[in-house]
């Protein structure tokens, strides 16, 4: 069997030579982020396969249309456009919905699923594996590296073989782990480059710039370094000009931004190119690229003459640090703005951002400090001289204050704030103004209404939101949640099905649909959903536990045990999985192993109900009736009066000869909802027979 392959060498020419030697008909693509930013290389693969896929299997392309086009909209000329959301069509200054690394990971998972299915179909036709070789992975943007980690881990190399090629520099942890687990590593022998061409430093520099500054040939690097700087800057201008006419957003985030940054007008054309690229990356959610472009843009922006641009580069970089876990850097960037500027709007928006850091992200959360910062934002908004700005920003920051108050537990005040915001905008704006922000206010109201149990009103708000923004699937998922609470699983599943059809593969969405399918009596559909989540994210604990429990319920203890073992390898000591192992052993009547598992759970959590209840069963089978009673009593202290637990404790009491205590448990259980009336009456009769005079 062929496996995945990792090729390591200092020079691209050496690595490419080895790729050609060790692969058959591999499609070799370059991934250097300086070329086209995020998804560089992935775009080349998709551009190569999409025409055939769209012609032969249009339903496959349709199922993944959103993911395929999300970060690479230029591919629309091959397969048509994606559906549009309010956020897509809102003016940049009105955007209040942004996406981060979680959304991008889901998009990448969808692309991987598409490639796996495409490879499976072509393999069924030809019997040959699809081979994809990704070169310069060490210099790829983080989004590309993450997608490759997913692809390497999920792909069967007999169907889709992945070659990852680059220098020996350390790769991100997830990609390193995937390669270590699945790929053989081969060093690329260094070949003699041959006689040195007769080129001047400027000629070498021109070759280097025309290659978008990705060449690893030492002669090109030296020529670029030694050539006249003004001449080199003009080379960058020329290269950027040559790319402009047909530039995709990938080129604008990659090569064009780099060339303008190093051209003859870095603080003018360079700053403008970086700002345009960053705005696109912000709108898309390419967090790592947003940070990179922002930090570079700050270097080209004078805080006095370019105040707005300096502020925008900094605030967007600070915000993008959050989803990639660079929280302290985020806070420092915001504080830098407060130290540097006196502009009220900068202080207003920065105060809001710091409030959100404290109430949502920094650990420990500090909601009281968040209120202080958000009150500052609200106060400044109320003093803005322009009436339109004063109205808009006052509403925006009152909405932010509502979020903080909700986190503080002041839900009534939060709802009052949000409803006041909605009323003010409805009164003062036309229907087509700030539509996206008004939808966010309505969304916040719906979530608060749910927290108050006002489900009918919340359902109506979500229905209105779906009508306003039918392709934004969070609303469908939230409405489905309300339908579940009502017990209407048909309506819930209809919304989940629609969301699955429209959205990238959010693990939470498939998990929620899976649990709804269980309740609706569709275990096979539920198992499919849980399997897809675990194929994408094997460490997803909720889906691992849910599938193991369902396998146990449907008569597959071996499958349940395998899931528990896999889960425990990823989450050592996890009590839910340990308890499941114990239940599997209990079903097999392997009481020693079951007892060991339940003991291990209760060492970690002495009040874990399922372990207490099932350990009581083990004790009962081993005639340790007092131990069983003790465990069931502790369980009742945790869960309250439960008819099944009371039934079991009554049976244990009866086995001890304590018919009076058993009768008391049975009598209490008979008053509770969902009690097994027939079973309880049967055991109560046994109590009576035990105590009847002879």
* Series of mean pLDDT values for 10-residue runs along the chain (694 residues): 90 96 92 98 98 96 95 93 79 64 93 98 95 98 98 98 96 98 96 81 96 95 96 98 94 98 98 97 94 98 97 97 96 98 97 97 96 98 94 94 95 96 89 86 96 97 95 95 97 98 95 98 98 98 98 97 98 97 96 97 97 97 96 96 96 94 95 95 89 59
> Does the residue 322 lie in any domain?
no
Q: In terms of residue numbers, what domain contains 17? A: 4-191
Buried-state track 332-348, b at ≥16 Cβ within 10 A, e below 16: ebbebbeeebeeeebbb
DSSP E strands in 153-252: the ranges are 160-166, 183-187
Instruction: Give the pLDDT score at 1.
Output: 47
- Find, among 545, 562, 488, the residue nearest to 511 by Cα: 545
Beta bridge partner(s), residue 162: 132
3-state secondary structure 665-683: HHHHHHCCCCCCHHHHHHH
Residues 162, 41 contacting (CB under 8 angstroms)? no
What CATH number is given to the structural domain containing 51?
A: 3.40.50
- Tokens 């087509």 locate to 432
Evaluate whether 67 touches 112 at the Cβ level (below 8 Å).
no
* Distance, C-alpha 171 to centroid of its chain: 20
Alpha-carbon distance of 254 to 234, in angstroms, equals 18
For residue 428, being part of any structural domain is answered with no
Q: Read off the DSSP letter of residue 193.
A: -
Residue 403 located in a structural domain = no
Does any domain span residue 671? no
Crossing angle for the helix pair 557-570 and 541-553, to the nearest 10 degrees: 160
Total domain count, the chain: 1
Closest alpha carbon to 37 in 272, 373, 278, 342: 278
The model's pTM is: 0.93
Tell me the three state secondary structure of residue 624. Answer: coil
What's the pLDDT at 693? 58
Question: How large is the angle between the packed helices 344-356 and 307-321, nearest 10 degrees?
Answer: 0
Q: Considering the domain boundaries, does residue 372 fall inside one? A: no
546 contact partners, CB below 8 Å, separation of at least 6: 511, 514, 515, 518, 526, 530
**pLDDT for the residue 92:** 66
Q: How far is CA 126 from the centre of its chain?
A: 35
3-class secondary-structure state, position 164: strand
Q: What is the three-state SS of 556-609?
A: CHHHHHHHHHHHHHHCCCCHHHHHHHHHHHHHCCCHHHHHHHHHHHHHHCCCCH
Q: Supply the pLDDT for residue 97.
A: 59
In a domain, 667, yes or no: no
β-pairing, 4-8 vs 183-187, is: parallel
In 214-293, beta strands by DSSP E: none
Distance CA 687, CA 523 (A): 39
Does any domain span residue 158? yes
Instruction: Answer yes or no: is 82 within a domain.
Output: yes
Q: How far apart are CA 141 and CA 392, in angstroms?
A: 37
Return the residue matching tokens 């009847």. Answer: 692
The closest alpha carbon to 333, from 688, 344, 346, 345, belongs to 346
**Radius of gyration, alpha carbons of the chain:** 31
Question: Residue 99: which residues within 8 A CB-CB, separation 6 or more?
Answer: 284, 285
Q: How far apart are CA 468 and CA 476, in angstroms?
A: 12
Counting DSSP H helices and E strands in the chain, the numbers are: 38, 5
């Amino acid at each position: 069997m062929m496996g995945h392959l990792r090729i390591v060498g200092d020079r691209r020419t050496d690595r490419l030579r080895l790729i050609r030697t060790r692969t058959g008909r591999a499609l070799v693509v370059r991934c250097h982020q300086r070329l086209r930013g995020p998804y560089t290389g992935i775009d080349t693969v998709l551009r190569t396969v999409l025409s055939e896929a769209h012609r032969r299997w249009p339903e496959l392309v349709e199922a993944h249309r959103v993911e395929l086009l999300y970060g690479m909209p230029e591919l629309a000329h091959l397969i048509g456009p994606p559906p549009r959301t309010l956020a897509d069509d809102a003016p940049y200054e009105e955007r209040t919905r942004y996406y981060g690394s979680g959304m991008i990971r889901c998009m990448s998972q969808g692309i991987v699923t598409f490639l796996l299915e495409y490879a499976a179909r072509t393999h069924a036709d030809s019997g040959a594996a699809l081979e994809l070789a990704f070169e310069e992975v060490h210099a790829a943007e983080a989004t590309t590296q993450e997608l490759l980690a997913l692809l390497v881990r999920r792909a069967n190399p007999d169907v889709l073989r992945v070659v990852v090629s680059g220098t020996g520099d350390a790769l991100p942890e997830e990609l390193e782990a995937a390669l270590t687990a699945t790929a053989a590593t081969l060093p690329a022998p260094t070949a003699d480059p041959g006689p040195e061409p007769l080129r001047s430093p400027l000629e070498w520099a021109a070759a280097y710039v025309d290659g978008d500054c990705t060449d690893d040939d030492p002669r090109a690097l030296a020529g670029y370094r030694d050539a006249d700087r003004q001449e080199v800057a003009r080379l960058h201008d020329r290269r950027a000009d040559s790319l402009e006419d047909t530039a995709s957003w990938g080129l604008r985030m990659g090569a064009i931004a780099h060339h303008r940054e190093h051209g003859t007008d870095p603080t003018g054309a360079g700053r403008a190119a970086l700002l345009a690229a960053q705005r696109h990356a912000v709108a898309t959610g390419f967090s790592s690229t947003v940070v990179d472009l922002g930090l570079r843009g700050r270097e080209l922006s004078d805080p006095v003459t370019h105040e707005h641009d300096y502020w925008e580069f900094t605030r967007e970089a600070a915000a993008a640090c959050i989803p990639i876990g660079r929280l302290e850097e985020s806070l420092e960037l915001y504080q830098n703005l407060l130290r540097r500027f006196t502009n009220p709007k900068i202080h207003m928006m920065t105060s809001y951002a710091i409030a959100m850091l404290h109430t949502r992200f920094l650990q420990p959360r500090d909601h009281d400090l968040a209120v202080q910062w958000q009150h500052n934002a609200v106060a400044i908004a109320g003093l803005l001289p322009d009436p339109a700005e004063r109205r808009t920003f006052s509403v925006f920051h009152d909405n932010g204050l509502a979020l903080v108050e909700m986190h503080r537990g002041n839900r009534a005040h939060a709802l009052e704030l949000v409803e006041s915001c909605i009323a003010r905008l409805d009164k003062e704006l036309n229907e087509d103004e700030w539509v996206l922000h008004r939808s966010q206010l309505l969304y916040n109201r719906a979530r608060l209404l749910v927290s108050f149990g006002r489900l009918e009103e919340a359902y109506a708000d979500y229905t209105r939101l779906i009508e306003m923004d039918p392709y934004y699937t969070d609303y469908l998922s939230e409405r489905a949640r309300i339908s579940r609470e009502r017990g209407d699983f048909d309506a819930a599943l209809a919304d989940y099905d629609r969301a699955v059809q429209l959205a990238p593969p959010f693990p939470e969405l498939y998990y929620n649909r899976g649990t709804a399918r269980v309740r609706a009596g569709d275990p096979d559909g539920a198992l499919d959903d849980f399997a897809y989540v675990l194929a994408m994210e094997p460490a997803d604990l909720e889906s691992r536990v849910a599938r193991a429990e369902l396998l146990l319920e449907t008569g597959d203890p071996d499958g349940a045990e395998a899931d528990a073992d896999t889960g425990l390898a990823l989450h050592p000591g996890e009590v839910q999985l340990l308890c499941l192992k114990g239940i599997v052993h209990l079903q097999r009547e392997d009481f020693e192993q079951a007892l060991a598992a339940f003991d291990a759970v209760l060492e970690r959590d002495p009040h874990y109900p399922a372990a207490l209840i099932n350990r009581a069963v083990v004790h009962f089978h081993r005639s340790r009736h007092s131990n069983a009673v003790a465990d069931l009593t502790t369980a009742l202290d945790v869960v309250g009066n439960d008819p099944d637990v009371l039934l079991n404790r009554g049976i244990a009491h009866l086995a001890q000869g304590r018919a009076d205590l058993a009768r008391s448990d049975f009598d209490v259980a008979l008053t509770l909802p969902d009690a097994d009336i027939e079973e309880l009456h049967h055991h109560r009769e046994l109590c009576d027979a035990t105590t009847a005079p002879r």
